[in-house]
């Protein structure tokens, strides 16, 4: 029986002011059971000691690139442009891989060579050391690996099956779909998974391959909550900035008959999820419940999760703003305790 060769990976780490975390991320790459890779670290204008920490490594597989601050998407795209291998893995500077992450991905690639993204399950670690693992009813329990069925969009109705520290993408796919969007402030990674999932199947392993750390100082989730607490209207502009772009991408793909019949129902339901998210922001942050109700009246989800959310939002849209803000404040405190 012919032995399958190991895949050679190019690994991209975007770096911005992560002096406390970058060593952990790099070490987790260097400790992989599969050692055939190149590691490209793109410093996106850090002003702390991140660069000096990277320079301490004397490993010929590491390529260190520095650029003026242009955002995480631009940093990842710079890394992609400098990749020599056919499969590009991504890792955030404040996360880390299990030592068999690339081995799991290597196995997925051999079993599902036509996939557009390869990813593993991940665990979330908060500042108190508490671990949690995302759960998806449409994905079989461990041990399982395969193509997300009926599609990526089915699993994504419940959360994020693919994250920016577990995804591996063939370079050939990026040449067709494009790189990370640099015109959006948030969700640029999710935008790419969505664009790929319209055209390609997504291969997934239910084995944990990475740890996502919630306690990083400039984690995008913290920036997100700072934005909405200081200037709520910015949140709606962020949502409106991103949602219509994916709506357009999805609708154009549907019109061109580029979406398979197996994926189409899930994609349409997924677009309804975006509509509910927009309605939620109009209610909670923009103070425009009348616009939210117009969105809700024209959105007809089928899944129980989205139906429940729709009716909850419709009820909230009639609450006085003072009561709504009080409920949101209580909910925020409970969430902060949960993730602390």
Q: Is 271 contained in some domain?
A: yes
Q: Is 118 contained in some domain?
A: yes
- 47 is written with which tokens? 């002003």
Shared domain for 171 and 72, answered yes or no, is: yes
Shared domain for 198 and 247, answered yes or no, is: no
Shared domain for 182 and 313, answered yes or no, is: no
**Domains contained in the chain, number:** 2
* Predicted pLDDT of residue 55: 97
Q: Is 239 contained in some domain?
A: yes
Average pLDDT over the chain, rounded to an integer:
88
Q: Is 226 contained in some domain?
A: no
Shared domain for 198 and 237, answered yes or no, is: no
- Domain coverage including residue 293: 231-339
* Predicted pLDDT of residue 73: 95
3-state secondary structure of 259: coil
Shared domain for 34 and 183, answered yes or no, is: yes
Q: How far is CA 195 from CA 21, 50, 181, 187, 259, in A?
A: 30, 32, 11, 12, 11
Shared domain for 181 and 294, answered yes or no, is: no
Per-residue pLDDT tens digits for 203-250: 999 999 999 998 755 544 444 444 344 444 444 444 454 555 787 888
- Token look-up 């998974």 returns 193
Which of 220, 247, 272 is at the close of a domain? 220
* Predicted pLDDT of residue 332: 67
Three-class DSSP labels, 112-172: CCCCCEEEEEEEEECCCCCEECCCCCCCCCCCCEEECCCCHHHHHCCCCCCCCCCCEEEHH
Shared domain for 17 and 112, answered yes or no, is: yes
Which of 175, 197, 220 is at the close of a domain? 220
Q: What is the mean pLDDT of each run of 10 residues along the chain (340 residues)?
A: 78 97 98 97 97 97 97 97 98 98 97 98 91 91 92 91 97 96 83 94 97 71 43 46 70 90 93 90 86 94 93 92 79 62
């Amino acid at each position: 029986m012919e032995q399958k060769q190991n895949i050679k990976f190019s690994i991209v780490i975007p770096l911005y002011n992560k002096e406390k975390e970058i060593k952990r991320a790099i070490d987790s790459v260097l400790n992989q059971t599969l050692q055939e890779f190149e590691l490209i670290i793109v410093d996106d204008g850090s002003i702390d000691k991140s660069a000096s920490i990277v320079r301490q490594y004397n490993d010929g597989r590491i390529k260190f690139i520095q650029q003026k601050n242009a955002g995480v998407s631009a940093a990842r795209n710079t890394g992609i442009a400098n990749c020599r291998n056919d499969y590009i893995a991504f890792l955030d500077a404040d996360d880390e891989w299990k030592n068999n992450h690339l081995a799991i991905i290597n196995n997925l690639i051999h079993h599902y060579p036509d996939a557009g993204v390869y990813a593993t399950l991940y665990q979330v670690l908060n500042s108190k050391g508490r671990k949690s693992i995302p759960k998806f009813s449409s994905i079989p329990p461990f041990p399982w690996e395969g193509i997300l069925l009926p599609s990526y969009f089915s699993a994504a109705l419940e959360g994020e099956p693919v994250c920016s520290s577990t995804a591996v993408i063939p370079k050939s796919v990026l040449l067709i779909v494009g790189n990370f969007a640099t015109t959006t402030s948030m969700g640029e990674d999710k935008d790419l998974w969505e664009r790929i999932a319209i055209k390609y199947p997504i291969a997934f392993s239910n084995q944990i391959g990475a740890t996502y750390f919630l306690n990083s100082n400039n984690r995008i989730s913290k920036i997100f909550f700072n934005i909405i607490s200081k200037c709520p209207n910015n949140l709606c502009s962020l949502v409106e900035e991103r949602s219509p772009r994916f709506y357009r991408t999805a609708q154009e793909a549907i019109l061109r008959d580029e979406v398979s019949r197996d994926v189409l129902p899930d994609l349409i339901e997924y677009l309804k999820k975006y509509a509910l998210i927009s309605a939620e922001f109009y209610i909670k942050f923009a103070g425009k419940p009348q616009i939210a109700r117009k969105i809700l009246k024209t959105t007809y989800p089928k899944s129980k999760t989205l139906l429940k959310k729709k009716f909850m939002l419709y009820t909230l849209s009639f609450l006085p703003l003072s009561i709504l803000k009080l409920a949101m404040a209580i909910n925020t405190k409970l969430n902060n305790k949960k993730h602390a």
